[in-house]
Amino acid sequence: MIKPVKISDDELRRAVKVLKNVEPETLKALRAEMAQSLKPYADRAAMQMPTKPALSGFARDPGWGAAKGLVQTAPSRTRKSGYKIVNIAVQSTRNTKTKGLLLAEFGGTKSKGFTRLGEAMIRNLNAVKPIKRGAGRFTYDYIRAERRAIVKLATDVLNGYMKKASRYL
């Protein structure tokens, strides 16, 4: 039995690079399985977003649409943790003018607003639902509550591929 180990950012980056060069199909399969297994969590996170615009002006400009869950599996760097394998996000189902969802979710996480209009928008959004720890407004509670299950599922998928790879080594 393989024991789960903590992998550093550099080791993970090198492993993905080698896997991409040696077995690109295996990397694609890993990403597909990861996205498929985490999609229900992303969809439930999207259900936490209000169906109607959080503020009345969001319907027209910057735009509002129904939210859908998105699982991004292309690894990339982050400012805080260094390297991520998977990211659960929420996006609009509309093609154009869809920034209202993101604005409602993250407005006020970086600043309190630079203009009087921005300050008023953030104040009104906080009246609808306050920001949680600078991380999000509507989906944050759900993601925090399900974090252990999400991490366990992602770890199980990675461990499964590590078992497959260890047979060939």
Q: How many CB atoms lie within 10 A of CB 11?
A: 12
Is 168 contained in some domain? no
Quick check: is 144 in a domain? yes
Q: Under a CB-based contact definition with an 8 Å cutoff, are residues 139 and 104 in contact?
A: no
pLDDT tens per residue across span 100-131:
888 888 888 888 888 898 899 889 999 998 88
Q: What is the mean pLDDT of residues 140-164?
A: 85
36 found inside a domain: yes
Separation CA 58–CA 112 (nearest Å): 19
CA distance 50 to 86: 25
Question: How many distinct structural domains can be found in the chain?
Answer: 1
pLDDT at 114: 87
Give residue 45's pLDDT.
92
pTM, entire model: 0.77
* 55 falls within a domain: yes
Q: CB–CB of 89/72 below 8 Å?
A: yes
With respect to residue 4, please indicate whether it lies within any of the assigned structural domains.
Answer: no
Determine, yes or no, domain membership for 83: yes
Domain residues for the domain of 140 are 9-163
| Closest listed residue to residue 140, CA positions, set 104, 94, 86, 98 | 104
In sequence order, which ranges of 1-139 are alpha helices (DSSP H)? 9-22, 24-47, 99-106, 116-128
Q: Is residue 137 part of a domain?
A: yes
pLDDT at site 4: 47
- Among 157, 162, 153, smallest CA distance to 42 is for 153
